[in-house]
Each structure stands twice: as C-alpha cells, then as structure tokens.
C-alpha cells in the first residue's frame, strides 16, 4: 500500500517533489466535471470562484441562496443559526464528548495565553516612542464541514482570537447536504468558545460573504481557517480587502525515524495523516531498512480495519512513501527542505535533532508527542502552514488577531536634531516638500 524508495534521487523527483494544488493544471477531473455541472461550461477554478465572488458582492443574500442551491443542492431561507441552538447542541452532547471538548479548549486557551502580545513604550529615543498591539475588531472563521465535521478546527481558530481580545467572532461552516443543518458537535464547540454568530455557509460564497458583507452576514476584518480548493482560491482573491492567516493546501506529515522507533506507532501515524483526504501527504524518512519494511507491513495490516480505507489508499499511492536515506542527518535535512506542516521526530534524541530544524509548522518531539494529539488536545493551534510555506509562515496564533500601531511622540529637542537628517534624505529622493516640512521645524 505504501512504497519504499531506495533511490534518493527518485524520491526527490516523486514523493518529495511538491505539486501545487492551486494551479489549474493540477485540478482533478471530478473537480472539473463539478464546475461544468454548476456553470454549464468549462471554467478554471479561479474563474469559477471569481464569478461567485462578484455575484455575492453585487447581490448579497440573494446570490448566497442561489449559489448554495446550485453547489450544495440546498434551499436555505435563513443562514444564521440561532444562539439558543448552539447551547441546545452543547447540552445534548454525550458527557464524554463534552468533557473531551472542554479539556481541549482549556489546553488550547492555556497554551495561547502564554504567547506574548508585544506592546511597549520607551523614552530612550527622545520623547515617547513605542508600539501598541490592538486586537482586531471583527474576525471571520471558516470551519470545514465537507466529508466530516471538524469541531477541533473551530476551537483551534476561535480560542486564540478570544485570547487576543477580538471583539466579534463570526463562523461560517457548510451545512450538511442531506438536511441543510450544521453538525451538532460544531454548534457545541461554538458554544464552548462563545462565538458571536454562526452561519451555515460554505465554499467561495462563505468567503465572499465575510469579505464583502451582505444583508445578513457582516463584513469582517480578517478571515482565518483552512478549507478546500474553492475556499482557498476565494481567500486568495479577496486578500487586500480583508486580511488572511494563510492559504492552506492539503495536510501533510513527515516522520523522521531511526531504528529505535515503534513500527506499529509510525504506521498508525502515517495512516492517520492519509485519512484526511486523497491529497494528504504522509511520508517516512529513515536510514533503517528494517524499520522501513516493518512499517510498510504494519501500514497494510492496520489499514484493513479502517473506515476510510479507500481514501487512505489513494493518499498513500499519490503522495505517500517511505524514503530510505544514507543516515539520520540526511533524513533530517530532507525533512527541513520539504518544510512540512507537521514534522515528527521518532528518534533517540528528538530535542537534539529538533535544533537543526528551521522549516516546519510544528515539530513533534518523540513518539509520545504524536501528531494526532496536536490535532486535538495538545494545545498549539493545528492550523499550520502547508505546501512548503513553513519556510516563511507560522502556525495560527494570537498575533494573527492583533495589529501593531506605532507610537511616535518625539520631544522638541530630539525633533529639532533629527529634522536636518530627514531633510537630507528627502532631498536625495527628490521629495522637496518632504524636505521643506522638516526644514520648517529645524
């Protein structure tokens, strides 16, 4: 079910080579046929999204209803879920599930409460200088709901926003195609966090509603959260009108393991990653042939009893693999070059090897720190950079929900002293009005 690559160059050309899912030439045929069905003609995903965004911007709620009917096959009279429905869903949860969600929420809140929000002031530069971190006023969170409800994603996005002090948190999540309702477990999670409003909207039309505002959905300052292809393309097209946390592709995990690793545990972690969807990436890098073969065997054995076996098989065949490396150092270097969303170090000295890592959304130290715990309850947000963007991007955190305002309060003596310097630089830029404004005060 999962291939072992013994040729490092072959692995670089195949399993370790990234393929962007946001380019039209990589769009699977089922997506293309869906576009033809909805639009009655060939359109690229970018063109389809642009059409939806433009229509919602011009026609508001009416367009939301039409696109929800065309895409999801649902006729919705109202979009907002009443607040009392959130409380009702929470109260109806099985006690063990309610306890699990509350524990996850507590750990997520505790972790993010330790992240510093950097406001500071100084008089060392002449007068009063500094910066003020100001929470965003209104944030929209997209919570996927496609093939499975993801209350964990709601907790992982909304709790850092609450910790940061965001005034209003709005959630959009797709309604179920069968009955048009939102999964009760997502409603319960929204109640636990205390979101202000929740709308049953999905896809590009949900992003459009949050970015532009409609009669029902208020416009927000920033949109966060992962979604599918059309959600991500919509986020990219509205950037600049609103802020974004990032553009997320399919989820990915790279495991670096030596011969001390438990092959059954490594296989279970690969399968858990592949379970997400057919485009998910699950890769093992190891210098141990015996471990590679044992993991390959365990993957085949364990997959037989899993409910999403077909999805797992497609994921492992498309993007998965076990790569044999000459040594552990090479494995770590390849992982760092790949810049994965999740990097798991199942090795004897995980802390030591972690010091060599510059590029990863999250580093999971040792076999007890499995990525699945990070998905749900460890504490840090599981919304992390994908597609190699961990080279320059960070996981979702409290700083995503604040902006910095610079404070400049120079005293008269300092300002007089600096005016000639400012004027000289302005003259070099041929900005004579700038120079004059400084010279008047000098």
Cα atoms in the 13 Å half-sphere on the side-chain side of 338 = 32
Give the E-state strand segments of 25-107 in sequence order: 80-81
Contact 330, 356 (CB under 8 A): no
Active site residue: 275, 341, 367, 371, which one?
341
Is residue 91 exposed (0-12), middle (13-18) or buried (19+ Cβ within 10 Å)? exposed
Active site residue: 342, 367, 371, 382, which one?
342
Residue 342 annotated among the catalytic residues of the structure = yes
Q: Two tokens at 100?
A: 């699990």
Q: What is the separation of C-alpha 31 from the centre of its chain, rounded to a whole number of angstroms? A: 22
Phi, psi for residue 6 in degrees, rounded to 5:
-95, -20
Q: How many Å from the N-terminal Cα to the C-terminal Cα in the chain?
A: 75
Element (H, E) at 141: strand 138-142
Contact 156, 383 (CB under 8 A): yes
Residue 66 annotated among the catalytic residues of the structure = no
Distance of alpha carbon 35 from alpha carbon 42, whole angstroms: 7
Compute, in degrees rounded to 10, the torsion defined by CA atoms 367, 370, 371, 373: -160
Report DSSP letters for 281-348, one per residue.
EEEEEES-HHHHHHHHHHHHHHHTT-TTHHHHHHHHHHT-EEEE-SSHHHHHHHHHHH--SEEEEESS
| CA–CA–CA angle 288, 351, 378 (5° rounding) | 100
Q: Which of 291, 368, 355, 364 is nearest to 323 (CA)?
A: 291
Pairing of strands 80-81, 197-200: antiparallel
Sheet holding 120-122, edge to edge: 120-122, 128-135, 402-409
| CA–CA–CA angle 325, 326, 331 (5° rounding) | 45
Report the b/e string of 165-186 with b at 16+ CB within 10 A: ebebbbbbbbbeeeeeebbbbb
Active site residues: 341-342
């Amino acid at each position: 079910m999962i291939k072992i690559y013994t040729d490092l160059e072959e692995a670089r050309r195949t399993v370790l080579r990234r393929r962007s899912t946001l380019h039209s030439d990589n769009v699977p045929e089922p997506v293309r046929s869906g576009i033809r069905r909805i639009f009655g003609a060939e359109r690229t995903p970018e063109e389809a999204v642009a059409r939806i965004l433009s229509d919602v911007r011009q026609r508001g709620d009416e367009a939301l209803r039409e696109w929800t009917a065309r895409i999801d096959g649902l006729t919705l009279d109202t979009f907002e879920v009443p607040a009392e429905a959130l409380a009702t869903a929470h109260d109806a949860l099985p006690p063990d599930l309610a306890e699990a969600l509350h524990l996850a929420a507590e750990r997520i809140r505790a972790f993010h409460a330790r992240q510093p929000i950097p406001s500071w002031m100084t008089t060392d530069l002449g007068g009063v200088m500094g910066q003020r971190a100001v929470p965003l006023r209104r944030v929209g969170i997209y919570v996927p709901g496609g093939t499975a409800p993801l209350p964990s994603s709601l907790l992982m996005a909304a709790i850092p926003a609450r910790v940061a002090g965001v005034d209003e948190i709005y959630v959009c999540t797709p309604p179920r195609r069968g009955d048009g309702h939102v999964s009760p477990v997502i409603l319960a999670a929204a109640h636990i966090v205390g979101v202000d409003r929740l709308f049953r909207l999905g896809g590009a039309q949900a992003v459009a509603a949050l970015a532009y505002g409609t009669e029902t959905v208020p416009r927000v300052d920033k949109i966060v959260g992962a979604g599918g292809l059309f959600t991500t393309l919509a986020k990219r097209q509205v950037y600049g009108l609103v802020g974004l946390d990032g553009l997320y592709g399919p989820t990915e995990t790279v495991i670096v393991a030596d011969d001390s690793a438990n092959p059954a545990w490594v296989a279970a972690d690969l399968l858990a990653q592949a379970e997400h969807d057919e485009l998910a990436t699950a890769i093992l890098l190891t210098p141990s042939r015996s471990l590679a073969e044992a993991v390959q065997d365990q993957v085949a054995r364990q997959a037989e009893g899993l409910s999403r076996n077909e999805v797992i098989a497609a994921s492992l065949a498309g993007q998965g693999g076990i790569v044999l490396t000459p040594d552990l150092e090479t494995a770590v270097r390849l992982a760092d070059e790949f810049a994965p969303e999740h990097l798991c170090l199942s090795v004897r000295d995980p802390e030591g090897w972690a010091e060599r890592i510059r590029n990863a959304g999250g580093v999971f130290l040792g076999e007890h720190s499995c990525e699945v715990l990070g998905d749900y309850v460890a504490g840090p947000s599981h919304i992390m950079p994908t597609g190699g963007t961990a080279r320059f991007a960070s996981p979702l955190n409290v700083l995503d929900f604040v902006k910095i305002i610079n404070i400049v309060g120079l005293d008269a003596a300092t300002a007089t002293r600096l005016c000639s310097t400012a004027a000289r630089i302005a003259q070099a830029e041929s900005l004579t009005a700038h120079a004059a404004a400084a010279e008047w005060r000098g």
